[in-house]
Structure 1
Amino acid sequence: MSDTNLTLNAEKRTQFGKGAARKIRRDHKIPAVMYGHGAEPVHITLPGHETMMALKTANALLTIVIDGDEQLALAKDVQRDAIKPVIEHVDLVVVRKGEKVTVDVPVHIEGEAAPETVVTLDSQTLQLEVEATHIPENVVVSVEGLEAGTQIKASDVTLPRGATLVVDEETLVVNITQQISQEELEAELAEAEEEAGIEREESDEDAAAAEGDSEGAEGESTDGEKADSEDA
């Protein structure tokens, strides 16, 4: 749970635009905006390294300090560079103690399903309504000993205390299926290729095997001819 929060010392911004944002990033800081509860948006600058570390935790509760005043906030949107490991901009939403917020909480699987089964996590997160100061780090789903054919839906998941499910109860979270054998997999692949009109190229191993079979057949034929000649 997010009973503890991370403190970030911010500075108010007075310059805006792409040029100003680039200058902020060159100084190893991050441009951000904070809004919520009907207040005017506040444009701020966050410390780069500390913010990146804080946002490694999903739904991290942040204490933003501006000119000595503290404000609780959650990261609503984090814009990251497509190539470099840097944050380009952060949208923060103001929250208050006791307030309910809607967040996407990661799903964590534990345990081992029955032998020869495949466990598929269909929903990486579940949308929950929780107290802003008590956001769970994850929801745990146990698959211990479960057989093929088992499906765990959102309504089946045990939620943390005080949490309410927001997503549809019928949402599939975990699906457990029978493990397919290599032979079945190859047969399905061959059938799919045939339906698609794809001709598979003969591999070197298949060619060598075919050549060996051919030589074996010729050898049997020669031995037969010799036997017939001797009988004659």
Structure 2
Amino acid sequence: MAHEIKLAASARTEFGKGASRRLRRAGQVPAVVYGHGADPVHIALPGHETLLALRTANALLSISVDGGAAQLVLPKQVQRDPIKGFLEHVDLLVVKRGEKVSVEVPLVVTGADKEDRVLVIDQQTLTLEVEATHIPSEITVDVSGLEIGAQLTAAELVLPEGAVYAGEPDDLILSITQTRAAAQAGDEAEGAEAAAE
């Protein structure tokens, strides 16, 4: 489950590309905080700490601006430099304890190591409606007991308490198919049996 990552921010008074470049050179990240009907607040976040915090999907951040009261936020849009990977800008959405939010959570599959089958994953992430302070870091699915031809739908997912899948219950999450080599071996064995009759 999500734990709060505390970050100290400072208010921004300068805007535009030049101001943002100066901030980044000083090791800070320009950001904007919005939501719950409040006016957007432009802030500067500590670059290194923010980069580390955002390595976690759906990181729940507790941000205090210029030493003021902390507020909970979720990253909604993160712009990175396409070549160097540093943070260029972050949009943060204010959330409240107990509030439900819609988030993308990574799907992690275990037990898919049998040689005669191929795992086809239809959804790499799952859209969940979940309490802001209880966002799971991932949803794990064990496919070791599934046979070739099996399919797993959203209705069969085991989600943490309070989490609800945002799509349809019959959405396909993953399926197990036979490898081409195993299928060919099966065809050859059937052909040999037919020839022997």
- SS of the aligned residue for 1:181 comes to helix
Could you tell me how far apart the structure 1 residues matched to 2:106 and 2:183 are?
36
Is the contact made by 1:112 and 1:145 (CA closer than 8 Å) also made in structure 2?
no
Asked if 1:31 corresponds to 2:35, the answer is no
Could you tell me how far apart the structure 1 residues matched to 2:119 and 2:112 are?
9
Specify the code of the residue in structure 1 equivalent to 2:135.
I
Cα distance change of structure 1 residues 134 and 42 upon mapping to structure 2, 3 Å threshold? same
Specify the code of the residue in structure 1 equivalent to 2:12.
R
* Displacement after TM superposition at 1:17 (Å): 0.5
Q: Which digits, 9 at most, give the CA deviation of each residue in 1:34-68, with x for residues without a partner?
A: 00100000000001000000000000100001122
Match of 2:12 in 1: 13
Is the contact made by 1:80 and 1:89 (CA closer than 8 Å) also made in structure 2?
yes
Within 5 Å, which residues of 2 pair with 1:126-141?
126-141=126-141
Unpaired runs of 5+ in structure 2? 185-197
Is the contact made by 1:114 and 1:147 (CA closer than 8 Å) also made in structure 2?
no
What percentage of residue pairs aligned between the two structures are identical? 53
**Bigger RCO (CA 8 Å, 6+ sep):** 2
Match of 1:79 in 2: 79
Unpaired runs of 5+ in structure 1? 185-232
Match of 2:65 in 1: 66
Asked if 1:97 corresponds to 2:97, the answer is yes
Could you tell me how far apart the structure 1 residues matched to 2:42 and 2:71 are?
14
Could you tell me how far apart the structure 2 residues matched to 1:139 and 1:123 are?
12
* Displacement after TM superposition at 1:156 (Å): 1.3
The answer to which structure has the higher helix fraction is 1
* Displacement after TM superposition at 1:183 (Å): 9.9
* Number of residue-to-residue matches in the alignment: 183
Is the contact made by 2:112 and 2:119 (CA closer than 8 Å) also made in structure 1?
no
Is the contact made by 1:113 and 1:143 (CA closer than 8 Å) also made in structure 2?
no
- SS of the aligned residue for 2:134 comes to coil
Is the contact made by 1:114 and 1:146 (CA closer than 8 Å) also made in structure 2?
no
Specify the code of the residue in structure 1 equivalent to 2:152.
I
Cα distance change of structure 1 residues 103 and 147 upon mapping to structure 2, 3 Å threshold? same
Match of 2:161 in 1: 161
* Displacement after TM superposition at 1:171 (Å): 2.1
Within 5 Å, which residues of 2 pair with 1:48-67?
48-67=47-66
Specify the code of the residue in structure 2 equivalent to 1:111.
G
Could you tell me how far apart the structure 2 residues matched to 1:24 and 1:170 are?
48
Could you tell me how far apart the structure 2 residues matched to 1:183 and 1:55 are?
44
Larger Rg: 1
Is the contact made by 1:34 and 1:42 (CA closer than 8 Å) also made in structure 2?
yes
Specify the code of the residue in structure 2 equivalent to 1:7.
K
Specify the code of the residue in structure 2 equivalent to 1:164.
V
Specify the code of the residue in structure 1 equivalent to 2:139.
V
Could you tell me how far apart the structure 2 residues matched to 1:124 and 1:31 are?
30
User: What is the alpha-carbon root mean square deviation over aligned residues?
Assistant: 1.6
